[in-house]
Amino acid sequence: MAERDLIRVVLPDAQPLPSAYAEADRRQAVEDLLAGNVFRPKGLTGPFALSLTVREGRLGFDIRDSEDRPLHALVLALGPFRRLIKDYHLVVESHEKAVAEGGSEVRIQAIDMGRRGLHNEGATLLTERLAGRIELDFETARRLFTLVCALHQRI
C-alpha cells in the first residue's frame, strides 16, 4: 500500500486555469498526490492537510492535522523557481498547440520529454529548498511542483 502522509490538499479558490489542459493537469496532480506521497515536516506526525498558496512572490505551506488544526506554516521565496515555472508554462502551451494542430507523435513525445525534464528539475529544487524542514519523496515533489506552476498561473 502506498504511503499517504498527505490526506488533503487545498488550493485557493480562484478562477479556472487558462485551459482545460492546465485544469486537468492540476486535478491529476492532486489525485496522484493523494493516492501516494511522502510529506514529513520535521518534528510533526501525520497525517496532514496541506494548503498551498502563492502570494507576493512567495509559496506558502499551511500544514494542518487531519482535523484541520494548524500545525506549521512555511513560506518559500519563488525567485529560485521562476525560470522553471516560466519554461514549464511555455512547454505546456507548446504541447497544447501541437495537439490542437494534429502534430506528429514524435513532436508531442519530444515536448512531453521536455516537460518531464522540467518536472524533475522543479522537484529537485523543491526538495533542496525544503531540506531539513519537510522530507519529500521525488514523486511527491514532482506533483507539488505541478501545483506550484498551476498556482503561479492564477496570479
Q: Please tell me the predicted confidence (pLDDT) of residue 16.
A: 58
With respect to residue 145, please indicate whether it lies within any of the assigned structural domains.
yes
Supply the range of the domain harboring residue 84. 6-154
The secondary structure of 16-46 as a DSSP string is PPSSHHHHHHHHHHHHHHHHSB-EEETT--S
Q: Please tell me the predicted confidence (pLDDT) of residue 154.
A: 46
Q: Please tell me the predicted confidence (pLDDT) of residue 18.
A: 60
With respect to residue 1, please indicate whether it lies within any of the assigned structural domains.
no
Q: Please tell me the predicted confidence (pLDDT) of residue 155.
A: 40
With respect to residue 80, please indicate whether it lies within any of the assigned structural domains.
yes
Domains identified in the chain, total number: 1
Q: Please tell me the predicted confidence (pLDDT) of residue 120.
A: 95
With respect to residue 109, please indicate whether it lies within any of the assigned structural domains.
yes
Buried b / exposed e across 11-21, counting CB within 10 Å, b at 16+?
beeeeebeeee
> Which strand (E) or helix (H) includes residue 75?
strand 70-77
Helix axes 105-130, 138-154, angle to 10 degrees: 100
Residues of the chain with pLDDT under 50: 1, 154-155
With respect to residue 81, please indicate whether it lies within any of the assigned structural domains.
yes
With respect to residue 97, please indicate whether it lies within any of the assigned structural domains.
yes
